[in-house]
């Protein structure tokens, strides 16, 4: 699902990350920052709070998948 996000991420592709944790529900989001840098962020929700687990620059493969809308 893509949506407009002001500021930090211009576009957002979000999906569940069930590979890396059986103890908590994790999500990952990929999007383009205002400066053009493509980022991948892994996070979990704790009540109303977002807990960021990791954030990094997207790989070439991830950028290609994002651009293809996968």
In this predicted model, what pLDDT tens digit does every residue of 32-47 receive, in sequence order? 887 888 999 888 888 9
Three-class secondary structure of residue 18 per DSSP? coil
- What is the distance between the alpha carbons of residues 10 and 66, in angstroms, rounded to a whole number? 13
First to last CA, the chain: 9
The pLDDT tens digits of the residues spanning 1-29 come to: 455 444 555 556 656 666 655 677 888 88
> How many domains are contained in the chain?
1
**Are 44 and 24 spatial neighbours (Cβ–Cβ below 8 Å)?**
yes
Please tell me the pTM assigned to this model. 0.65
Q: Residue 49: give the domain boundaries.
A: 2-67
Task: Give the pair of three-digit tokens for residue 24.
Answer: 């908590």
């Amino acid at each position: 699902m893509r949506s407009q996000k002001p500021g930090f991420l211009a576009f957002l592709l979000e999906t569940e990350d069930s590979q890396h944790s059986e103890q908590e529900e994790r999500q990952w989001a990929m999007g383009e920052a205002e400066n053009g840098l493509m980022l991948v962020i892994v996070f979990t929700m704790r009540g109303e709070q977002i807990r960021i687990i990791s954030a990094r620059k997207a790989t070439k493969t991830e950028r290609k998948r994002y651009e293809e809308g996968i």
